[in-house]
Amino acid sequence: EVQLVESGGGLVQPGGSLRLSCAASGFTFSRYAMIWVRQAAGKGLEWVSVISGGNNSTYYADSVKGRFTISRDNSKNTLYLQMNSPRVEDTAVYYCAKGGVGAPIDCWGQGTLVTVSS
Amino acid sequence: SYELTQPLSVSVALGQTARITCGGNNIGSKYVHWYQQRPGQAPVLVISRDNDRPSGIPERFSGSNSGNTATLTISRAQAGDEADYYCQVWDSNTGVFGGGTKLTVL
């Protein structure tokens, strides 16, 4: 069974930093691109970033470009999202998901809440 | 940047057919994926690549995509289908979601 479990969410001050992790199991992690999607309370889904299976390619939403970095450790079956200089508007539930450019997002984690506030 | 437009809400009587639209410039040239999100839960893929149903998704769910509009059709609507539904495409290596449609089953 495919499982994605996010961790690392919490309260962070504007301008601080936070790293989210996503532990994957049940599939050959290194073969698949992975995605972060976020959802502010009461709002819709927003795509954040995608990384290819081999780490060769990364893409970001304009809203996070230059501040967030997606990465992965295929030896640990883990996906990361480094959030630098977060803003209040980055407050959301962050979902880790399996899928790549052009492909459907066929598996989602349960999400981790990030609150950016002073 | 590419935009997808969905109606905020759609209502359907129990047992009838619901249609949720997703508008975008020449969306028919892209693959559209649809997700169902029940309150407090993570999204679930219900239709991929315009009209493919993942394993475990009832045949009542179907999709179409042509011109400037993609449509998710839910036949014989059930109370359990009440949820938010999102369409999604890829545009120049960027993921794009529609704003979401709340489906109410009356």
The pLDDT tens digits for B80-89 are 999 999 999 9
Tens of pLDDT, residue by residue, chain A (118 residues): 999 999 999 999 999 999 999 999 999 999 999 999 999 999 999 999 999 988 679 999 999 999 999 999 999 999 999 999 999 999 999 999 999 999 999 999 999 999 999 9
Given a contact cutoff of 8 angstroms between Cβ atoms, the answer to whether B68 and B28 are in contact is: yes
A113 lies within 8 A of chain B by CB = no
- Does B100 sit within 8 Å of A45, measured CB to CB? yes
- Residue A54: what pLDDT? 81
Q: How far, in whole angstroms, is CA A61 from its chain's centroid?
A: 12
**Nearest Cβ partner of B45 from A57, A61, A106?**
A106
Give the pLDDT of residue A56. Answer: 75
Which two three-digit tokens encode residue A32?
Answer: 């698949």
- Residues B57, A52, B43, CA angle at the centre, nearest 5°? 30
Q: Given an 8 Å threshold on Cβ–Cβ distance, is A108 in contact with B44?
A: yes
Looking at beta carbons, which residues of chain B come within 8 Å of A44?
84, 86, 97-100
Measured between beta carbons, the chain A residues lying within 8 angstroms of B86 are 44-45
* Residue B29 one-letter amino acid: S
Chain B residue with CA closest to A43: the answer is B99
For B13-71, write each residue's pLDDT tens digit.
Answer: 999 999 999 999 999 999 999 999 999 999 999 999 999 999 999 999 999 999 999 99
- CA–CA–CA angle A115, B41, B80 (5° rounding): 150
Q: Which chain B positions have a beta carbon within 8 Å of A50's beta carbon? A: 93, 95
Q: Is B67 on the interface with A (CB under 8 A)?
A: no
Work out whether strand B69-74 and strand B18-23 pair parallel, antiparallel, or are unpaired. antiparallel
Residue of A nearest to B101 (CA): A44
Whole-Å CA distances, B3 to A33, B68, B97, B105 = 23, 11, 8, 27
> A53 with A100: CB under 8 angstroms?
yes
pLDDT of residue A63: 97
CA distance B103 to B36: 10
Residues in chain B closer than 8 A to A56 (CB atoms): none
